[in-house]
Amino acid sequence: MKKIDFKAMRKRTSKAVKGMSEKDREHEEKEDNIQQQSVTFPLNDLKARPGGDTRSLHLEHVVSLAESISALGLLEPIVIDKSGYLLAGGHRLAACRLLEATPKKRKKILEELKGDSSRTLPEELSERVDALHWPGSKEELRLIPVRIMDFDANDDVDLALAIEAAENTQRKDYTAKEVFALYEKLISAGYTNKRGKPKEGERAAKPAIALVIGKSIRTVERMLLKAQEKESEVRQVQEVQKTFKGLSKAIEKFSKACEELEDSESTKKLIAYLSAPKLQKLVKAVVKESLSDSPNSSM
């Protein structure tokens, strides 16, 4: 039986890992050095990723994105190389094409996405596709936001794959306020916030936001709660400011009235009653009551 040289094996493994790490660092350095440009680009001029997609597109994911884009617009630009080849954002690109297409052309796009011609498209998904609409002009969809990376994907396939991987893991960090603004837009567009599975024809707002920003539904819920609490605090501060403004006007009127009145015994008693400590107590009571009456929004 041949003796295994573990020492030599460790050396070869260490060398291979070191080589992989150096290659990763080279890709990172190249990515950092590539110039980027954010512009709009003709939708129909975008070309498929060199070498084909690294992962198959999920049909329901594409339809859900198309629905959210129709309400919010394309929030995350598609990433392409300088020749217009796709680097990252295949689902977003398919969603934009689905929205821009005529009903007849949509069926062709769905067949391509479905892949297996023997597979029947679920009726619920088919109805959602039929209901898709773009509120603006078609011209707006024909020019879509992109980020152009200044290199040719055909010349450096490894770098193209590295950029795709980076784009899929690194999304814009949305603030709680921005997420709440997206939520309000979706609710205005007819999305629902009911608990549990949406009924037929309904679209849930939180899963749609989670899909767009690349976060879990639980994270979206936490961000919405944080934004709601902040909004409640702002409203309370506004109520206090409004209350103090009203008190200031009342005190000013009272002072003028006292000046106009004669120096009578009743006036002196009234001024004594509204002396500084008692007035402060009155102000505190009014502010406390104002805060307790402030309406809190519910989601």
CA 127 to chain centre: 26
pLDDT of residue 1: 46
Is 80 exceeded by the pLDDT of residue 85? yes
Whole-model pTM: value is: 0.59
Buried/exposed 112-135: b ≥16 CB within 10 Å, e otherwise: ebeeeeeeeeeeebeebbeebeee
According to the model, what pLDDT value does residue 206 have?
A: 87
Pairwise CA distance, residues 55 & 167, whole Å: 14
Higher pLDDT, 92 or 215: 92
Dihedral-angle region of residue 201 (phi above 0 means left; psi in -120 to 50 means alpha; beta otherwise):
left
Distance CA 158, CA 101 (A): 33
Residue bearing the bigger pLDDT, 245 or 15: 245
Q: What is the mean pLDDT of residues 71-82?
A: 88
pLDDT tens digits for range 159-177: 888 877 777 666 667 888 8
Q: Is the pLDDT of residue 146 over 80?
A: yes
Cβ(31)–Cβ(151) below 8 Å = no
Which residue did the predictor score with more confidence, 131 or 27? 131
Name the helix (H) or strand (E) containing 230.
helix 217-260
